[in-house]
Structure 1
Amino acid sequence: MRKWLPLLAVSLSTLMLLIDITIVSIAAPALARDLHASFGALQWTVDLYVLVLAALLMVAGSLADRIGHRRVFVAGLILFAIASLTCGLAPNVGALIVSRGVQGLGAAAMYATNAALLGLAYRGRDRSIAFGVWGAANGAAAAAGPILGGLLTEHVSWRAIFLVNLPVAAAALLLARHVSAERAGRAGRLDLPGVASFTAAATLLVYGLIRAGDAGWTDRPAVGALVAGGFAILVFVLVERGRREPMLDLRLFRRPAFSVLMFGAAALTASAFAGLVFVSVWAQSVLRLDAMDAGLVLAPMAVVAFVVAGAGGRLLHAVPARYSIGVGLLLVGAGDALCLLVGPGSGWSAVVPGLAVVGVGVGLSTPVLASATLATVPPDRAGMATGASNTFRQMGYALALPVYATVLATGAGDVLHGGASAAAFADGLDRIFVISAAIAVVGGLAVLGLLRTTQGGPETDDPGPMRAPAASTTQGVRESDVTGLTTAEPAIGRISSSPR
């Protein structure tokens, strides 16, 4: 059992940081009453955390490649715990928002190192099992957040949703002592211009989408923010192309396998998780369920995702990644389509079949995304690659959330305070589920069509060396790496993305 202690440390941290993305949605009404917060301020208690998490994942991964993954993981764990304490004690909404931003920084440091730490700790079938359990934690966390949030808010206080992180963080910190410390990584400076331009782009885009949801798509500040965000993306690309040690090596995107995995990561969170916030609000504002019961509406997805991801680590270790991820995304799309059964007179049971199918898709695809991404890059780009994958996942959520808010039939503030009619909200949910299903289906078809494996040869789209040490570029990756079973060895079946 001792060998599984590193997995327990990583999984606890993952559960904690991902639960904090959605847990606030259930506590929002109580939080608004206690802190006299506006709806816009409440949005930022959710969005700032996700924004900082997404914006800093890649730099955290890059830093971990240089000074060690365990060091960055432990530092993030400590920072997250401190910020959770200040969130729980916040005297006003401004202090809460700032603390949530610091929480996002700690979460980025933990999340960017999770997959790399598992890769260091486990080999062979153990690695497949470890990624399966970690994937189960990923899949269950987003849906478990509202459940836990409802329980704590109703029976303790909204402050407890943050303070509960303290004992979990303490346990993870004790277990982190059993995580192996790797050798010193690459030397070099952090890519501060890349960090600044990417953070600016993410912030402007998310702000522009939130503003457009509140004030309309013709609002000048909203349009200006979106245009500026697009310009910042261009600056980021130009900066990264010109640096010797970039935060994100853009040559990775020359491999269609890597590119389609990034798209699949964003599609997964946008289609499976972003809409859960509005299902939770529907349960409270339209069905008049209390906080705990509203959270339990999402339980089928959490349970199914956990079971499927955990079993998948054992049963699907020989299945090519494109099937696990691609079929998983298609199932998410099918589940979203089933949720179209929700109507003005529907009860909570109307969403159960659809959410259960979404859970199957999440459980199939989540654990394989991490190991497949690691298999597409050289070993010393592990932190960068997992940081990029997690960034795309969180940006998919962060960008989809305000977009979905705009397609609801009534204003977001009215929805939060229970002012939406059953018919208007049902129509809005239908539009959200249609968009979610479309995103998932496109993502699934892209993965099935572009992510290939070949036997006995290198990648047909190999862009050439992406790092200095020549010996490292001669290493291959076996097809079993795509499902997380082994590390670099002479190639007998590598990821490819060439068409049939």
Structure 2
Amino acid sequence: MTVSDSRANAPQPEGRLSDNAVWTLVVVSVATFMLMLDLTVVNVALPDIRKSFDSSFSALQWVLDAYALGLAAILLAAGSLADRIGRKKVFDVGLVVFVIASLVCGLAQNDLTLILARFVQGLGGAILFAVGPALIGNEFHGKQRGMAFGVFGGVAGLAIAFGPLIGGGLAESAGWRWIFLINIPLTLAALAVGYTKVRESRGTTPPPVDWSGMVTFSAGLFFLVLAFMRGQADGWTSAQIIAYFVIAIVLLIVFAGLQISRPGRAMFDLTLFRNRTFNGLSIVTALCAIAVMSALFLLISYVQNVLGYSAFGAGVRLLPLTILMFVAAAASGSLVAKVAPSVIIGGSQLFITAGLACVLFVSDHSGWTALIPAMALIGIGMGMFSTPRGAFAIAVTTPDKSGMASGVNETFQQSGLAVGIAALGAYFQNRVNAAYNSTDIAAQLHDKAPGLGDVISAGGGREAAQSLPAQAAEQFQHAATSAYVSGLHHMMAVAAVIAAISAVVGVFLLRRSDLDESALANPGVPPEAAADPVRGVSAH
């Protein structure tokens, strides 16, 4: 490395940011915005996708789940690989995979192609999710790191928050395909800027790539998440689901054996499980994703399909949640160095618990304003959690393993998301069916129109009512609304209990003594630079 390269990689004085640091934050934030956007925009476009392809309810679920499944499968492998061969290099690969898959999604001619492309899009997203925080952590230190993660969390919150609004606007004005095609110019711009402005980084003495560990872990996690996602639909005791679980367990046992037998080249440092805060943050991340993401999906569906607002109108009415989430995420970045992690993380989960519980006060006759208290509390809690989670996830270990630690945390996040949508979604569907089947109109229509309970849970109650004789339509509409709200209450109650458990875990397991204090508070030379001030990194 030349002298000029060494100066370029030297830490900047406190209060001064290098151009590389600023552009790294921009590129990672743009990538994160697209990834988080794709978690929410698809929901508001599902009715249009269903009409385009005449898709079944199961196919529409797969449009959502395939993305989450792809995300969960390789997050840890991506983070570990980045620590070894270079974080920027792996990040760029993720951008290329993501943009190609987005193009295929936008041009898909049937729902099977869309589902497969969404899975590949999730694989690309997994790489970006895992490596992005590590790239930020490499460029920012001390107080500047808190600021950077504040921006990072704020952008992620902005994408989740305004996803329904952006998706609704695109779907109504340009068609649902543009919710995917919009990624293409953004990704290409991120690639161009990243190539010239983002610096390479990796572990100081990286071991050889653990290919066998990556394959066994990714495949094991794939089958484990798939089993949870399909358990309700295919039957928990069916041969197919049991086979998925057995394959997953065997692969994960083999993975653990490989990690123990060759610690010098293992992709996952098992000693991290000795860190109580690492364990606590992982558990909270998974539980929060299970509770919140499934709740958000159903709230969007409720506003759009039950209250009857358009895709764009639903996004507008979610602004109390979205704005407060963005503000809380941006503000919480400065708290990571000042407030105990148990207070920040535990407090965020209490806000979420209260918000989910507030949905229980929604009735059959409520308007959208009845959701404002719930949306406000959930938004604050999500914002408080998103930014500190990213900072704490890379502070639980040494900087040379930050990609791995970030990948582990994002694995818990996306696995929780996939399992939550599948498991709580199946519970919601079960409760809606039970509530509808107990009504008089269900008995009257059973022979003429079976399976209407599934139609209601999918948000098709209004459309189904229009296909019925006028005499039965009004009675069915009342029954459909009542059944949907009943299912919503049951699901939100379970989600609130999960969030409350998450709060308890956060309060009692997270502690500042388990974190690298220099990564959160003390400005100056990063630990890896102090250990090896002349690292082999280049400008691009």
Q: TM-score, normalised by structure 1?
A: 0.87
Q: Which residue of 2 aligns with 1:447?
A: 506
What does the per-residue CA deviation read over 1:286-308, in whole Å, with 9 as the maximum and x for residues that have no partner?
A: 11221111233332222111111
**Aligned-pair CA distance for 1:159:** 0.2
Structure 1 letter corresponding to 2:506: V
Structure 2 letter corresponding to 1:434: A
Q: Which residue of 2 aligns with 1:213?
A: 232
What does the per-residue CA deviation read over 1:167-225, in whole Å, with 9 as the maximum and x for residues that have no partner?
A: 22123223323222226754444333333333333333333333333355454434443
**Aligned-pair CA distance for 1:389:** 0.6
Residue of 89, 99, 120 corresponding to 1:71 = 89
Once the two structures are superposed, the pairs formed by residues 84-483 of structure 1 within 5 Å of their partners are 84-176=102-194, 177-182=196-201, 185-244=204-263, 245-314=265-334, 317-408=337-428, 409-410=432-433, 412-416=454-458, 418-419=460-461, 421-454=480-513, 477-478=516-517, 481-482=519-520
**CA pair 227-299 structure 1, distance change in 2 beyond 3 A:** farther
Q: Distance in 1 between matches of 2:125 and 2:69?
A: 11
Structure 2 letter corresponding to 1:351: L
CA contact (8 A) 2:72 2:222 kept: no
CA contact (8 A) 1:340 1:433 kept: yes
**CA pair 190-52 structure 1, distance change in 2 beyond 3 A:** farther
Structure 1 letter corresponding to 2:494: I
What does the per-residue CA deviation read over 1:314-347, in whole Å, with 9 as the maximum and x for residues that have no partner?
A: 3553112221111111111111111212222222
Greater displacement, 69-78 / 34-43: 34-43
**Aligned-pair CA distance for 1:17:** 0.9
**CA pair 452-160 structure 1, distance change in 2 beyond 3 A:** same
CA contact (8 A) 2:145 2:520 kept: no
Q: Distance in 1 between matches of 2:145 and 2:211?
A: 34
Q: Which residue of 2 aligns with 1:468?
A: none
CA contact (8 A) 1:22 1:46 kept: no
CA contact (8 A) 2:73 2:123 kept: no
Q: Which residue of 1 aligns with 2:8?
A: none
Q: Distance in 1 between matches of 2:220 and 2:202?
A: 34
Structure 1 letter corresponding to 2:499: A
CA contact (8 A) 1:26 1:150 kept: yes
Higher RCO, 1 or 2 (CA under 8 Å, sep at least 6)? 2
**Aligned-pair CA distance for 1:228:** 4.3
Q: Distance in 1 between matches of 2:398 and 2:84?
A: 15
What does the per-residue CA deviation read over 1:412-470, in whole Å, with 9 as the maximum and x for residues that have no partner?
A: 5542251381111111111221122112221121121122234xxxx6xxxxxxxxxxx
Q: Distance in 1 between matches of 2:302 and 2:241?
A: 27
Greater displacement, 179-188 / 366-375: 179-188
Q: Distance in 1 between matches of 2:505 and 2:84?
A: 33
- Greater fraction helix: 2
Q: Distance in 1 between matches of 2:359 and 2:100?
A: 39
Greater displacement, 343-352 / 325-334: 343-352
CA contact (8 A) 1:372 1:481 kept: no
Q: Distance in 1 between matches of 2:525 and 2:54?
A: 53
Residue of 83, 86, 93 corresponding to 2:101 = 83
What does the per-residue CA deviation read over 1:351-403, in whole Å, with 9 as the maximum and x for residues that have no partner?
A: 22112111111111211112212221122211100000111111111111111
What do you get for the CA RMSD once the two structures are aligned?
Answer: 2.4
Number of matched residues?
Answer: 469
**Aligned-pair CA distance for 1:60:** 0.7
**Aligned-pair CA distance for 1:280:** 1.5
**CA pair 302-485 structure 1, distance change in 2 beyond 3 A:** farther
Residue of 80, 87, 100 corresponding to 1:62 = 80
Greater displacement, 72-81 / 182-191: 182-191
Greater displacement, 274-283 / 377-386: 274-283
CA contact (8 A) 1:127 1:484 kept: no
Gaps of 5+ in 2: 1-16, 434-452, 462-478, 529-540
Greater displacement, 268-277 / 393-402: 268-277
Q: Distance in 1 between matches of 2:524 and 2:149?
A: 12
**CA pair 27-222 structure 1, distance change in 2 beyond 3 A:** same
Structure of greater Rg = 2
**CA pair 314-377 structure 1, distance change in 2 beyond 3 A:** closer
Q: Distance in 2 between matches of 1:66 and 1:107?
A: 19
What does the per-residue CA deviation read over 1:58-111, in whole Å, with 9 as the maximum and x for residues that have no partner?
A: 111111101111111122112211211111011212221221122112111211
What does the per-residue CA deviation read over 1:236-265, in whole Å, with 9 as the maximum and x for residues that have no partner?
A: 433433343223222211111111111111
**CA pair 316-482 structure 1, distance change in 2 beyond 3 A:** closer
**CA pair 219-294 structure 1, distance change in 2 beyond 3 A:** farther
Q: Distance in 1 between matches of 2:184 and 2:357?
A: 39
Q: Distance in 2 between matches of 1:154 and 1:484?
A: 49
Structure 1 letter corresponding to 2:375: L
**Aligned-pair CA distance for 1:164:** 0.7
Q: Distance in 2 between matches of 1:484 and 1:427?
A: 51
Q: Distance in 2 between matches of 1:487 and 1:367?
A: 23
Q: Distance in 1 between matches of 2:381 and 2:525?
A: 26
Q: Distance in 1 between matches of 2:298 and 2:494?
A: 14
Q: Distance in 2 between matches of 1:482 and 1:272?
A: 27
CA contact (8 A) 2:456 2:480 kept: no
